Amino acid sequence: MVAIRVDGLTRTFGETTAVDDLSFTVADGELFGLLGPNGAGKSTLINVLVTLLRPTAGTATVDGHDVRADTAAVRNSIGVVFQEPALDEELTGAENLAFHARLYGMGRERRDARIGEVLELVGLEDERDRAVGTYSGGMKRRLEIGRGLLHDPAVLFLDEPTVGLDAQTRRDTWEYIRRLNREGVSIVLTTHYIEEAEQLCDRVAIVDDGEIAAIDTPTALTDSLGGDVVRLELGGRADSLGDRLETRTWVREYATAGNVLEVTVERGDARVADLVRLADDAGASIATVDVRRPTLETVFLSLTGATIEDGRRRASDEASALEPPNGRDGAARSVRASGEDR
């Protein structure tokens, strides 16, 4: 079964094509990540899938419902946690959830049972009667995730779920997200954190400039780069080693620059000794050796020619230099007010 099917989806804002002819599917029960810098089109894509924005072209279904024709059915099937917190700090955790459950028209009995279940799922049962204003950042985020789950949705959308959280709280939040996923909820999350995509997601779509540059499991994406890079800093010029490397079948490729030699091999840790021996035979002394496994950052760089950080900087420069001529439309603005990490 398919949780989400996107076919030729495009969304433009005036001259800007925020989402450009995307097609992909998310399987039932999958934890799927959209990784890309600010301005790549991730939020626009999510806003179309959660029916806050209409597509300009193409189609999408969520839990089998068309985002254009069946908005009510889509909304019933999904939970959404936006980047911007929207909790009432004066109410307790349980009261915040009860308020939301009433908005969903849940009857009292179901509401009470479900609030208990959800608080347990996100590990806040002991804090249920404390005012949310006294919660830590991570607890608030978990309560928001819990709120998105109240009506038992098939698909949960999380827009930058750990933005602004410290490293430890981020890891804890990942654990809760994994737990929900194990309970059977399909999850789509956006992130610009490499590690989040690598550690958490079953599959990742690398999004840049409204397009999907690649889509696969994190391991397959990093493997596609063809191996680890062993970097040797030598006492003399590195090109003296070139001839010797040419004859080694385990060398996928190599590059030299001054006294630095970079060799791509399948298993970097297993080849360090061979490379040290080769350098030795060539009479080259070695100053440093390190082995780098490619990360999704390396994949992003090789696909787009920029780092995610570059992309983020470019987006924020553009945003401050040039506001869109017609301004942002209301639906998008209400869910995208500026946050601390932009």
Ligand X SMILES: Nc1ncnc2c1ncn2[C@@H]1O[C@H](COP(=O)(O)OP(=O)(O)OP(=O)(O)O)[C@@H](O)[C@H]1O
Residues that bind ligand X (CB under 6 A): 13, 16, 18, 36, 38-44, 324, 328-329, 332
- Nearest approach in angstroms of CB 17 to ligand X is 8
- Nearest approach in angstroms of CB 170 to ligand X is 16
Nearer to ligand X, 101 or 206 (CB): 206
Nearer to ligand X, 40 or 180 (CB): 40
- Nearest approach in angstroms of CB 40 to ligand X is 4
Nearer to ligand X, 20 or 223 (CB): 20
What letters, b where the CB count within 10 A reaches 16 and e where it falls short, cover 172-193?
Answer: bbbebbeebbeeebbbbbbbbb
CA distances from 166 to 145, 170, 180 (A): 17, 6, 21
Q: Which two tokens stand for residue 267?
A: 């298993």
Nearer to ligand X, 18 or 154 (CB): 18
- Nearest approach in angstroms of CB 336 to ligand X is 6
- Nearest approach in angstroms of CB 113 to ligand X is 35
- Nearest approach in angstroms of CB 43 to ligand X is 3
Nearer to ligand X, 48 or 150 (CB): 48
Q: Alpha-carbon distance 295 to 186, whole Å? A: 25
Q: Which residues contact residue 221 at a Cβ distance below 8 angstroms, ignoring those fewer than 6 apart?
A: 204, 206, 214, 296, 299
Nearer to ligand X, 124 or 188 (CB): 188
Are the beta carbons of 156 and 148 closer than 8 angstroms? yes
Q: Alpha-carbon distance 222 to 229, whole Å? A: 12
SS (H, E, C) 198-254: HHHCCEEEEEECCEEEEEECHHHHHHCCCCEEEEEEECCCHHHHHHHHHCCCCCCEE
Cα dihedral 136/142/143/148 (nearest 10):
150
Q: Alpha-carbon distance 233 to 279, whole Å? A: 11
Nearer to ligand X, 4 or 118 (CB): 4
